[in-house]
Amino acid sequence: MLSLLTVVREADEFAVTREGLFVPKRHIAGIDDRATDFVAVAERFIGTPYLWGGKSSFGIDCSGLVQLSLNAAGISALRDSDMQQASLGRAIDPAEWSKPRRGDLLFWKGHVAIARDETTIVHANAHHMSTVIENAAEAIARIKAAGSELVAIKRI
């Protein structure tokens, strides 16, 4: 995802790179192609192992998931959750926190999740040791019980 390739020729269902690697053509998109729904991009990582500092299908962390998903949609995002909180979107009034919208970013100190809708989030986390879809209220309560309050919701 988001890797740049130089294709020198095509061979049946494959594109051949200048390094001689064969890549399935269905896995390649144009350099200007952008995802229309960054939440759907994040959902493609469901089941990916959690890896602090990771940013691939081999292992990913919460802010890496957000950064990759937004970048795939053409939205620039910094790497770490604190930087993302400071630079992305607009803050939502705490009175509205009970009803996040698809694509809202939920922030805790050191953690970020993406709202899928009013009731569920997608996030890479050490509790599950993978990227999961989770009930938002349950995740907020579990993370609070572990000592971290929800600090912001930002709307892209």
Q: Could you give the residue numbers annotated as active site?
A: 62, 111, 123
* 81: three-class secondary structure by DSSP: helix
Q: Is the dihedral of CA 68, 38, 105, 135 positive or negative?
A: negative
Residue 23 has a pLDDT of 95
20 burial type by CB count under 10 A (0-12 exposed, 13-18 middle, 19+ buried): exposed
| 63: number of Cβ within 10 Å | 25
Residue 3 has a pLDDT of 87
List the chain pLDDT tens, one digit each, 156 residues. 888 999 999 999 999 999 999 999 999 998 899 999 999 999 999 999 999 999 998 999 999 999 999 999 999 999 999 999 999 999 999 999 988 999 999 999 999 999 999 999 999 999 999 999 999 999 999 999 999 999 999 999
| Distance (Å, whole) CA 130 – CA 61 | 8
- Give, as one character, the DSSP assignment of residue 38: H
